[in-house]
Amino acid sequence: MTINVPNLVKPSIIESVKLLIESDFSIQDALSRGYGNSSEIARILKPSVDNMLKKNIKLDSIITSVKRTKFNYSVYSDSVTQIIANSTISVKTDVIKLSIKRSSVTLNTVSKLISKYQEDFLQISESLSV
C-alpha cells in the first residue's frame, strides 16, 4: 500500500494512519465490525507510515493511532455492488463439475469411477428434473 505525499506537507502519525485506513476497505471493514486486531493492523501499516513520514516510527505509536482513528466507513457504492452482482465467479481448483445425461452408459461409467477412486473425495448429485 503506497500513498505519495508531497514533501511540503508531512502528515502526523495519526493522519498517516487515517489516510492509509481510508484507502483500504478490508481494514475499514475489520475495524468497523470489531474483528480487526489493532496491533496486527499497525504492523501491516508500519512500512507505509515510515515511508510517508520518511522516518522510523515506533510500532506503539502506530497502534495507538489505529485505536484512536475515527473514520466514516461506508458500504460499497451501488455501482460497485451492481458490478459484483452481475459478475461470474470462477474458482480455479482441482474440482471438476460435470453435467451428463443419465443413461445406462453413464451409470456404468460412474460406477467404475466410484470403485476406482474410493480413496478420493467424489460427490455425485442426481437431479429429478431436466
Please state the domain extents for the chain.
13-78
Cα distances from 28 to residues 16, 57, 83, in angstroms, run 15, 22, 21
Mean pLDDT on 108-112? 75
What confidence tier does 9 reach under pLDDT thresholds 50, 70, 90? low
The answer to whether the CB of 81 falls within 8 A of the CB of 53 is no
Stretch 59-78: mean pLDDT, rounded?
80
pTM over 0.85, yes/no: no
Other C-beta atoms closer than 10 Å to the C-beta of 106 total 12
Tell me the per-residue pLDDT of 37-62, one tens digit each, with 9 for 90 and over: 999 999 999 999 999 999 999 999 99
Average model confidence (pLDDT) across the chain: 78
Residue percentage of the chain with pLDDT more than 70: 65
Q: What is the pLDDT of residues 10-38, one digit of tens each?
A: 789 999 999 999 888 788 888 888 888 99
